[in-house]
């Protein structure tokens, strides 16, 4: 499952590897682009318009959950229960690095992501500041790869 999948970049990558992917996003336009890029049924990709601000997912359903560049804290407990035992969570999103952010609640506090999944088996965790590029300003990111205990 790819949360806040947008145009499906990560979803398509996994579908190309043969995984059946459910892409969730609030934007019908973005999901239509993802489905278009997946071709007419040639890749195992389902697209579902879904608002993650009030999430519900069936328990112990997903082998893998992706969450990239999106933060809705209400998803933390939902992701925890929706993963199958032994399932993997891949999470990367923006972290607070300054006090003058336009919408501070869209940014993780330092250590917040790790604390939310501390009882999972942590495979990888990092907090870092990425340098500015031509297309992006400098930004702080938190990354986590974790396995739900069996």
CATH number of the domain residue 35 falls in:
3.40.50.150
- Which position has the higher pLDDT, 143 or 103? 143
Residue keyed to tokens 């997912």: 57
Say if residues 84 and 63 touch (Cβ distance below 8 Å): yes
Written as six digits, the tokens of 32 are 């239509």
Domain residues for the domain of 142 are: 2-147
Total domain count, the chain = 1
- Measure the N-to-C terminal CA separation of the chain; round to a whole number of Å: 19
pLDDT in tens, 111-126: 999 999 999 999 999 9
Say if residues 119 and 149 touch (Cβ distance below 8 Å): yes
- Please give the sequence-ordered ranges of beta strands (E in DSSP) within 45-82, or none if there are none: 45-49, 62-68
- What confidence tier does 104 reach under pLDDT thresholds 50, 70, 90? confident
C-alpha distances in Å from residue 43, one per residue of 4, 25, 63, 68: 19, 18, 18, 21
> What percent of the chain has pLDDT above 90?
79
Can you tell me the mean pLDDT for 73-86? 97
Identify the three-state secondary structure at position 100. coil
According to DSSP, residue 105 is labeled G
Mean pLDDT score across all residues of the chain: 92
Strands 21-25, 83-94: parallel, antiparallel or unpaired by DSSP? unpaired
User: What is the distance, to the nearest Å, from the Cα of residue 43 to the centroid of all Cα atoms in its chain?
Assistant: 20
């Amino acid at each position: 499952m790819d949360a806040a999948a947008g145009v499906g970049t990560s979803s398509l990558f996994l579908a190309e590897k043969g995984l059946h992917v459910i892409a969730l996003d609030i934007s019908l336009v973005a999901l239509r682009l993802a489905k278009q890029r997946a071709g007419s049924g040639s890749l195992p990709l389902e697209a579902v318009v879904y608002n993650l601000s009030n999430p519900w997912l069936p328990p112990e359903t997903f082998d893998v959950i992706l969450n990239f560049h999106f933060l809705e804290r209400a998803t933390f407990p939902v992701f925890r229960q929706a993963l199958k035992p032994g399932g993997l969570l891949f999470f990367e999103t923006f972290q607070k690095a300054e006090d003058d952010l336009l919408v501070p609640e869209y940014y993780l506090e330092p250590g917040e992501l790790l604390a939310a999944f501390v009882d999972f088996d942590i495979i990888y965790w990092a907090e870092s500041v990425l340098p500015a590029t031509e297309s992006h300003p400098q930004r702080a990111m938190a990354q986590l790869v974790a396995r739900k205990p069996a």
